[in-house]
Protein backbone atom coordinates (compact mmCIF):
# COMPACT_ATOMS: atom_id res chain seq x y z
CA UNK A 1 0.00 0.00 0.00
CA UNK A 2 3.03 2.19 -0.10
CA UNK A 3 3.35 2.99 -3.73
CA UNK A 4 -0.15 2.10 -4.84
CA UNK A 5 -2.47 4.11 -2.68
CA UNK A 6 -3.60 5.95 -5.78
CA UNK A 7 -5.20 4.52 -8.85
CA UNK A 8 -3.29 2.61 -11.48
CA UNK A 9 -2.33 5.52 -13.66
CA UNK A 10 -0.68 7.55 -10.91
CA UNK A 11 1.13 4.50 -9.73
CA UNK A 12 2.03 3.66 -13.30
CA UNK A 13 3.39 7.14 -13.85
CA UNK A 14 5.56 6.70 -10.77
CA UNK A 15 6.91 3.43 -12.06
CA UNK A 16 7.67 4.74 -15.53
CA UNK A 17 9.23 7.82 -13.97
CA UNK A 18 11.39 5.68 -11.72
CA UNK A 19 12.43 3.55 -14.66
CA UNK A 20 13.43 6.64 -16.61
CA UNK A 21 15.38 8.14 -13.74
CA UNK A 22 17.16 4.89 -13.12
CA UNK A 23 18.18 4.85 -16.74
CA UNK A 24 16.18 1.80 -17.74
CA UNK A 25 15.40 3.55 -21.01
CA UNK A 26 17.99 5.19 -23.22
CA UNK A 27 17.92 8.92 -23.49
CA UNK A 28 15.75 9.92 -26.43
CA UNK A 29 14.22 6.46 -26.76
CA UNK A 30 10.78 6.32 -28.28
CA UNK A 31 8.08 5.16 -25.90
CA UNK A 32 5.07 3.62 -27.56
CA UNK A 33 1.85 3.05 -25.72
CA UNK A 34 1.54 -0.57 -26.77
CA UNK A 35 5.08 -1.31 -25.61
CA UNK A 36 4.36 0.12 -22.16
CA UNK A 37 1.08 -1.73 -22.08
CA UNK A 38 2.58 -5.15 -22.21
CA UNK A 39 5.63 -4.10 -20.22
CA UNK A 40 3.45 -3.18 -17.27
CA UNK A 41 0.54 -5.42 -18.05
CA UNK A 42 -2.11 -2.76 -18.15
CA UNK A 43 -4.41 -1.36 -20.75
CA UNK A 44 -3.78 1.68 -22.88
CA UNK A 45 -6.07 4.04 -21.01
CA UNK A 46 -3.98 4.31 -17.84
CA UNK A 47 -0.83 4.34 -19.95
CA UNK A 48 -2.06 7.37 -21.81
CA UNK A 49 -3.01 9.13 -18.59
CA UNK A 50 0.40 8.38 -17.18
CA UNK A 51 2.14 9.60 -20.31
CA UNK A 52 0.24 12.87 -20.22
CA UNK A 53 1.28 13.31 -16.61
CA UNK A 54 4.91 12.56 -17.32
CA UNK A 55 4.85 14.91 -20.26
CA UNK A 56 3.76 17.72 -17.99
CA UNK A 57 6.48 16.77 -15.55
CA UNK A 58 9.01 17.05 -18.32
CA UNK A 59 10.57 13.59 -18.08
CA UNK A 60 9.17 12.69 -21.50
CA UNK A 61 8.55 14.95 -24.47
CA UNK A 62 6.63 14.88 -27.68
CA UNK A 63 9.17 13.69 -30.15
CA UNK A 64 9.06 14.75 -33.76
CA UNK A 65 5.95 13.20 -35.18
CA UNK A 66 4.45 10.38 -33.20
CA UNK A 67 4.86 9.20 -29.66
CA UNK A 68 6.98 10.39 -26.81
CA UNK A 69 10.67 10.23 -26.23
CA UNK A 70 12.30 10.00 -22.84
CA UNK A 71 14.11 13.03 -21.55
CA UNK A 72 15.85 11.78 -18.47
CA UNK A 73 16.85 14.57 -16.11
CA UNK A 74 20.57 14.89 -15.62
CA UNK A 75 22.38 15.90 -12.47
CA UNK A 76 22.69 19.37 -13.99
CA UNK A 77 18.90 19.53 -14.40
CA UNK A 78 18.43 18.57 -10.79
CA UNK A 79 20.86 21.25 -9.68
CA UNK A 80 18.88 23.83 -11.59
CA UNK A 81 15.66 22.60 -10.07
CA UNK A 82 17.10 22.68 -6.57
CA UNK A 83 18.08 26.26 -7.17
CA UNK A 84 14.55 27.12 -8.21
CA UNK A 85 13.07 25.34 -5.24
CA UNK A 86 15.47 27.10 -2.94
CA UNK A 87 14.50 30.42 -4.39
CA UNK A 88 10.84 29.64 -3.81
CA UNK A 89 11.58 28.61 -0.25
CA UNK A 90 13.42 31.85 0.35
CA UNK A 91 10.30 33.68 -0.80
CA UNK A 92 8.30 31.63 1.68
CA UNK A 93 10.72 32.49 4.47
CA UNK A 94 10.47 36.19 3.69
CA UNK A 95 6.70 36.11 3.52
CA UNK A 96 6.42 34.16 6.74
CA UNK A 97 8.66 36.66 8.50
CA UNK A 98 6.27 39.36 7.33
CA UNK A 99 3.14 37.44 8.25
CA UNK A 100 1.33 38.58 11.40
CA UNK A 101 0.01 35.10 12.14
CA UNK A 102 3.40 33.43 11.98
CA UNK A 103 3.67 32.89 15.73
CA UNK A 104 1.23 30.03 15.63
CA UNK A 105 3.66 28.07 13.53
CA UNK A 106 6.82 28.92 15.41
CA UNK A 107 6.50 26.04 17.88
CA UNK A 108 6.48 23.59 14.99
CA UNK A 109 9.70 25.06 13.69
CA UNK A 110 11.27 24.92 17.13
CA UNK A 111 10.17 21.34 17.60
CA UNK A 112 11.75 20.29 14.33
CA UNK A 113 14.98 22.07 15.19
CA UNK A 114 15.16 20.47 18.63
CA UNK A 115 14.40 17.04 17.29
CA UNK A 116 17.07 17.35 14.62
CA UNK A 117 19.52 18.45 17.30
CA UNK A 118 18.64 15.47 19.44
CA UNK A 119 19.04 13.07 16.51
CA UNK A 120 22.39 14.55 15.58
CA UNK A 121 23.45 14.20 19.21
CA UNK A 122 23.05 10.46 18.98
CA UNK A 123 26.09 10.44 16.76
CA UNK A 124 24.88 7.60 14.61
CA UNK A 125 24.00 7.74 10.95
CA UNK A 126 22.01 4.59 10.51
CA UNK A 127 19.06 4.28 8.20
CA UNK A 128 16.38 4.81 10.83
CA UNK A 129 18.05 7.95 12.17
CA UNK A 130 18.47 9.39 8.70
CA UNK A 131 14.83 8.76 8.00
CA UNK A 132 13.80 10.59 11.13
CA UNK A 133 16.15 13.43 10.29
CA UNK A 134 14.66 13.69 6.85
CA UNK A 135 11.20 13.69 8.37
CA UNK A 136 12.01 16.53 10.75
CA UNK A 137 13.78 18.44 8.04
CA UNK A 138 10.69 18.11 5.87
CA UNK A 139 8.57 19.30 8.78
CA UNK A 140 10.66 22.41 9.12
CA UNK A 141 10.54 23.31 5.46
CA UNK A 142 6.89 22.44 4.98
CA UNK A 143 5.93 24.51 7.97
CA UNK A 144 7.49 27.54 6.36
CA UNK A 145 5.86 26.84 3.02
CA UNK A 146 2.49 26.41 4.68
CA UNK A 147 2.89 29.27 7.08
CA UNK A 148 4.01 31.90 4.61
CA UNK A 149 0.46 32.88 3.77
CA UNK A 150 0.94 32.43 0.04
CA UNK A 151 -0.44 29.03 -0.83
CA UNK A 152 0.91 29.30 -4.32
CA UNK A 153 4.50 28.98 -3.17
CA UNK A 154 3.86 25.54 -1.76
CA UNK A 155 1.73 24.65 -4.75
CA UNK A 156 4.50 25.57 -7.14
CA UNK A 157 7.03 23.61 -5.12
CA UNK A 158 4.77 20.61 -5.29
CA UNK A 159 4.56 20.96 -9.05
CA UNK A 160 8.25 20.15 -9.34
CA UNK A 161 8.64 17.82 -6.38
CA UNK A 162 8.18 14.59 -8.30
CA UNK A 163 11.78 14.65 -9.44
CA UNK A 164 14.31 12.98 -7.20
CA UNK A 165 15.70 15.21 -4.47
CA UNK A 166 13.12 17.85 -5.13
CA UNK A 167 10.66 16.71 -2.54
CA UNK A 168 10.51 19.52 -0.05
CA UNK A 169 12.81 18.79 2.85
CA UNK A 170 14.67 16.01 1.16
CA UNK A 171 18.21 15.41 2.21
CA UNK A 172 20.92 14.15 -0.09
CA UNK A 173 23.75 11.91 0.92
CA UNK A 174 26.34 10.02 -0.91
CA UNK A 175 25.91 6.37 -0.16
CA UNK A 176 29.58 5.63 0.08
CA UNK A 177 30.41 8.48 2.40
CA UNK A 178 28.43 7.02 5.25
CA UNK A 179 30.46 3.84 5.33
CA UNK A 180 33.62 5.49 6.63
CA UNK A 181 33.98 7.09 10.09
CA UNK A 182 35.34 10.28 8.56
CA UNK A 183 32.39 10.40 6.20
CA UNK A 184 29.99 10.02 9.09
CA UNK A 185 31.76 12.77 10.96
CA UNK A 186 31.59 15.08 7.96
CA UNK A 187 27.94 14.30 7.46
CA UNK A 188 27.24 15.05 11.10
CA UNK A 189 28.98 18.38 10.70
CA UNK A 190 26.95 19.13 7.63
CA UNK A 191 23.77 18.39 9.54
CA UNK A 192 24.83 20.58 12.47
CA UNK A 193 25.63 23.36 10.06
CA UNK A 194 22.25 23.03 8.37
CA UNK A 195 20.45 23.04 11.68
CA UNK A 196 22.35 26.13 12.73
CA UNK A 197 20.92 27.77 9.63
CA UNK A 198 17.51 26.52 10.67
CA UNK A 199 17.95 28.31 13.98
CA UNK A 200 18.93 31.55 12.29
CA UNK A 201 15.93 31.30 9.98
CA UNK A 202 13.72 30.61 12.96
CA UNK A 203 14.94 33.65 14.83
CA UNK A 204 14.71 35.88 11.78
CA UNK A 205 11.12 34.82 11.21
CA UNK A 206 10.32 35.28 14.88
CA UNK A 207 11.74 38.78 14.89
CA UNK A 208 10.10 39.63 11.59
CA UNK A 209 13.44 40.13 9.88
CA UNK A 210 12.24 39.31 6.38
CA UNK A 211 15.47 40.15 4.59
CA UNK A 212 17.54 37.94 6.85
CA UNK A 213 15.07 35.07 6.71
CA UNK A 214 15.13 35.17 2.94
CA UNK A 215 18.88 35.44 2.71
CA UNK A 216 19.68 32.62 5.08
CA UNK A 217 17.10 30.38 3.51
CA UNK A 218 18.69 30.99 0.15
CA UNK A 219 22.06 30.15 1.62
CA UNK A 220 20.60 27.09 3.26
CA UNK A 221 19.36 25.84 -0.11
CA UNK A 222 22.67 26.59 -1.72
CA UNK A 223 24.29 24.17 0.69
CA UNK A 224 22.71 21.23 -1.08
CA UNK A 225 23.69 22.56 -4.48
CA UNK A 226 27.28 22.84 -3.40
CA UNK A 227 27.25 19.42 -1.81
CA UNK A 228 26.11 17.88 -5.08
CA UNK A 229 28.59 19.93 -7.06
CA UNK A 230 31.42 18.55 -4.95
CA UNK A 231 30.33 15.09 -5.96
CA UNK A 232 30.13 16.13 -9.55
CA UNK A 233 33.70 17.31 -9.48
CA UNK A 234 34.92 14.20 -7.74
CA UNK A 235 33.07 11.75 -9.92
CA UNK A 236 32.81 12.61 -13.58
CA UNK A 237 30.16 10.10 -14.47
CA UNK A 238 27.90 11.00 -11.57
CA UNK A 239 24.49 9.56 -12.10
CA UNK A 240 21.30 10.22 -10.23
CA UNK A 241 21.30 6.76 -8.76
CA UNK A 242 24.50 7.59 -6.88
CA UNK A 243 22.83 10.47 -5.15
CA UNK A 244 19.24 9.62 -4.55
CA UNK A 245 18.83 8.86 -0.96
CA UNK A 246 16.58 9.88 1.85
CA UNK A 247 14.50 12.05 -0.41
CA UNK A 248 11.15 10.81 0.69
CA UNK A 249 10.91 8.88 -2.55
CA UNK A 250 12.50 5.51 -2.35
CA UNK A 251 13.22 4.47 -5.88
CA UNK A 252 14.36 1.04 -4.83
CA UNK A 253 10.86 0.23 -3.67
CA UNK A 254 9.21 1.28 -6.89
CA UNK A 255 8.98 -1.85 -8.95
CA UNK A 256 9.56 -1.51 -12.63
CA UNK A 257 8.42 -4.82 -14.04
CA UNK A 258 4.86 -6.01 -14.05
CA UNK A 259 4.46 -8.29 -11.06
CA UNK A 260 1.28 -10.18 -11.80
CA UNK A 261 -0.30 -11.92 -14.74
CA UNK A 262 -3.92 -12.60 -15.59
Partner DNA sequence: TCATGCGGCTTGGGATCCCAAAGTCAAGCG
Partner DNA sequence: CGCTTGACTTTGGGATCCCAAGCCGCATGA
Binding site for a copy of itself (CB under 8 A): 9, 45, 48-49, 52-53, 56, 58, 77, 80-81, 83-84, 87-88, 91, 150-153, 155-156, 159-160
Q: Assess 39 for contact with DNA (CB under 7 A).
A: no
Task: Give the residue with the Cβ less far from DNA, 47 or 204.
Answer: 47
- With a CB cutoff of 8 Å and minimum separation 6, the contacts of 137 are 112, 116, 169, 170, 171, 194
The minimum distance between CB 151 and a copy of itself, in angstroms, equals 6
Please choose, out of 41-49, 112-120, 146-154, 196-204, the segment that lies near DNA by the rule CB under 7 A: 41-49
Residue 59's nearest CA partner among 48, 70, 75 is 70
CA distance 192 to 120: 7
The minimum distance between CB 21 and DNA, in angstroms, equals 21
Residue 228's nearest CA partner among 179, 164, 184 is 164
Q: Could you give the string, one character per residue 67-106, with x where binding to DNA holds by CB under 7 A and - elsewhere?
A: xx--------------------------------------
Answer with the entry of DNA, a copy of itself, none that 188 interacts with (C-beta below 5 to 8 A by kind): none
**3 state DSSP class of 69:** strand
The minimum distance between CB 150 and a copy of itself, in angstroms, equals 5
Residues 156 to 175 in contact with DNA, rule: CB under 7 A: none
Task: Give the residue with the Cβ less far from a copy of itself, 135 or 161.
Answer: 161
Q: Pairing between strand 60-62 and 30-31?
A: unpaired
Q: How many Å separate Cα 85 from the centre of its chain?
A: 10
CB-CB contact of 10 with 48 (8 Å): no
CA distance 119 to 191: 10
Interface residues toward DNA, by CB under 7 A: 7-9, 30-34, 42-46, 48-49, 64-68
Amino acid sequence: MNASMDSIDTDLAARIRAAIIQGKFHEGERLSEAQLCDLFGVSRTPVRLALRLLEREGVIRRGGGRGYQVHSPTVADILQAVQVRGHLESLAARLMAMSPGRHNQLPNLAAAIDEIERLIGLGVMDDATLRQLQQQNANFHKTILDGCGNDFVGFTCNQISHLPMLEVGSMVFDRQVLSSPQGVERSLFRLRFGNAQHKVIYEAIQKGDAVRAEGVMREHSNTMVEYIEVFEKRNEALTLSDLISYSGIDLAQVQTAAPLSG
